């Protein structure tokens, strides 16, 4: 007997089909069966009344840290996948900088097995570029992809050896996966913990300038051009970086790039008071950079909105600024922030938001999903764009609560998260 789910009467926004209209969506046996004005419910179909709600292809976050194995006090694959579902994400890509590093097919298999057991958002492992993320020799890219990895990255660290980056961009092409890079020249960063500028000077904190990021963005683009490989630039935070990517794309270089909610909304002034929940890498930058990142997201230069969800245990953040680790959680605030501060303020429209949070991420990592076209995977997010709520980090499903957005008033929140036709998360119940 087939399992069906019928989503009735929602405003379906699916940029992959240039669709924005009231429609019913029928999912049968885990796949989209029909999207039309009046779908007849199959016998025994579960129905969801989506009238007044937004229905989109399942949201995808291609940049999350789930900490398992090795950092289970911060997050596990299960808690991360559940937090993702609560945030409206049907799929997330797990970074490999765990302990041990995910640099072989066994590690990839472990992540997939833990994710399957969680029965929440899908978790796609991203493998390491280099063995142990040491930046010395290529990891088992082919075997990892065979086991289910959807990309490679040494995120957490940049690839400092440009020669190795070149080889990665060449080698990965045989397997059709992007090479994702955390672009940062560590020499120029010089152990900086925040953006270099007036705020860092006043606070007496070591700063890292935009140039530390820009140097590697430009390098990566040049290497992508040289090799014909697909470079995916993570969490772009600088004005020059955005412009360099824009020009590279115009030249036909195969580049995709991310913007993160915090870089779109905050500036380095959020660090005032040595706020360790405003410490991440790359750091919050100037208002000029924030504006450029917004423009980049709007015009598609930064085609992917990704959170860089980086959980840390509270006592790891409860330290002097220099001693606290980088990163903030993002899965449970990303959609609300995007709706309130990007769509709500007219920086992008609703369809563009769905494009950046679902369609483009799917394309960048060759994932199923990102569309409600017939026959595609039955991943759907149903959103109440009018729900007013206050961020309460104590209520997060994530194990960690390190967010600078605690207490913020947001409008718009996921109501149902549906993975393969199954409701994996539902608000208020």
- Where along the sequence are the contacts to other proteins (CB under 8 A)? 190, 196-198, 200-207, 209, 273-274, 315, 318-324
Going by C-alpha positions, the residue among 131, 132, 127 that lies closest to residue 144 is: 127
Q: Does 308 qualify as catalytic in the annotation? A: yes
What burial class does residue 160 get, using C-beta atoms within 10 Å of its C-beta: 0-12 exposed, 13-18 middle, 19+ buried? middle
Tell me whether residue 73 or residue 363 sits nearer to other proteins (CB atom): 73
Point out the catalytic residue in the list 104, 308, 379, 384: 308
* Tokens (6 digits) for 116: 């399957």
The per-residue b/e assignment along 15-32, b for 16 or more CB within 10 angstroms, e otherwise, is bbeeebeebbbbbbebbb
Q: Based on CB atoms, which residue is closest to other proteins, 250 or 320? A: 320
Cα-based angle 156, 175, 361 (whole degrees, multiple of 5): 55
Nearer to other proteins among residue 49 and residue 323 (C-beta) = 323
Smallest separation, CB 165 to other proteins (Å): 24
Cβ atoms of 236 and 182 closer than 8 Å: no
Distances (CA, A) of 412 to 86, 87, 149, 390: 13, 11, 32, 10
CB of 207 closer than 8 Å to CB of 292:
no
Q: How far is the CB of 406 from other proteins (least distance, A)?
A: 16
User: How far is Cα 87 from Cα 225, in angstroms, rounded to an integer?
Assistant: 36
Nearer to other proteins, 58 or 192 (CB): 192
Which residue, 242 or 324, has its beta carbon nearer to other proteins? 324
CB of 318 to other proteins, least distance (A): 6
Query: Least distance in Å: CB of 341 to other proteins?
Result: 27
DSSP state string for 176-225 = T--EEE----HHHHTT--EE-SHHHHHHT--EE-HHHHHHHHHHHHHHHH
Which residue lies nearer to other proteins by CB, 117 or 198?
198
β-strand partners of 26 = 6, 34
The neighbouring-strand residues paired with 19 are 14
End-to-end CA distance of the chain: 27
Closest distance to other proteins from the beta carbon of 322 (Å): 4
Query: Considering the complex, what minimum distance in angstroms separates the CB of residue 158 from other proteins?
Result: 19
- Between β-strands 122-125 and 46-49, what pairing exists: parallel, antiparallel or unpaired? unpaired
CA distance 150 to 294: 27
Closest distance to other proteins from the beta carbon of 200 (Å): 7
**Do you find a cis peptide bond into 369, omega within 30 degrees of 0?**
no
The residue among 43 and 315 lying less far from other proteins, judged by its C-beta, is 315
- CA dist., res. 119 & res. 424, Å (int): 7
So which residues are the catalytic ones?
A: 308
């Amino acid at each position: 007997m087939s399992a069906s789910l019928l989503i009735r009467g929602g405003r379906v926004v699916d940029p992959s089909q240039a669709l924005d209209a009231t429609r019913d969506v029928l999912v049968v046996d885990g796949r989209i069966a029909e999207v039309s004005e009046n779908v007849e419910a199959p016998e025994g179909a579960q129905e969801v009344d989506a009238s007044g709600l937004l229905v989109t292809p399942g949201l995808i976050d291609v940049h999350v840290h789930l900490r398992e194995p090795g950092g289970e006090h911060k997050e596990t694959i299960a808690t991360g996948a559940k937090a993702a579902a609560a945030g409206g994400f049907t799929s997330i890509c797990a970074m490999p900088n765990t302990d041990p590093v995910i640099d072989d097919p066994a590690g990839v298999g472990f992540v997939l097995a833990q994710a399957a057991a969680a029965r929440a958002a899908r978790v796609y492992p991203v493998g390491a570029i280099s063995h142990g993320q040491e930046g010395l020799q290529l990891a088992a890219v082919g075997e990892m992809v065979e086991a289910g990895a959807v990309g490679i990255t040494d995120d957490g660290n940049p690839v400092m050896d440009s020669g190795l980056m070149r080889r990665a961009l060449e080698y990965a092409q045989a397997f059709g996966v992007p090479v994702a890079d955390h672009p940062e020249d560590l020499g120029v960063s010089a152990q900086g913990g925040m953006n270099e500028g007036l705020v860092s000077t006043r606070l007496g904190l070591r700063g890292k300038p935009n140039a530390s990021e820009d140097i590697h963005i430009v390098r990566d683009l040049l290497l992508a051009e040289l090799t014909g490989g697909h470079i995916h630039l993570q969490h772009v935070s600088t004005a020059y970086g955005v412009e360099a990517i824009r020009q590279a794309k115009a030249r036909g270089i195969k580049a995709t790039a991310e913007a993160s909610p915090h870089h779109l909304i905050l500036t380095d002034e959020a660090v005032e008071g040595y706020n360790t929940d405003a410490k991440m890498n790359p750091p919050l930058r100037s208002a000029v950079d924030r504006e450029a990142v917004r423009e980049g997201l709007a015009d598609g230069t930064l085609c992917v909105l990704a959170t860089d969800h980086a959980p840390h245990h509270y006592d790891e953040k409860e330290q002097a600024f220099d001693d606290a680790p980088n990163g903030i959680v993002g899965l449970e605030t990303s959609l609300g922030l995007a709706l309130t501060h990007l769509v709500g303020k007219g920086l992008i429209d609703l369809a563009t938001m769905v494009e950046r949070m679902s369609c483009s991420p799917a394309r960048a990592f060759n994932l199923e999903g990102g569309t409600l076209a017939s026959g595609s995977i039955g991943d759907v997010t149903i959103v109440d764009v009018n729900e007013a709520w206050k961020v309460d980090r104590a209520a997060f499903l994530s194990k960690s609560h390190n967010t600078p957005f605690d207490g913020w008033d947001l409008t718009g929140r996921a109501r149902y998260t549906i993975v393969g036709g199954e409701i994996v998360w539902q608000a208020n119940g």
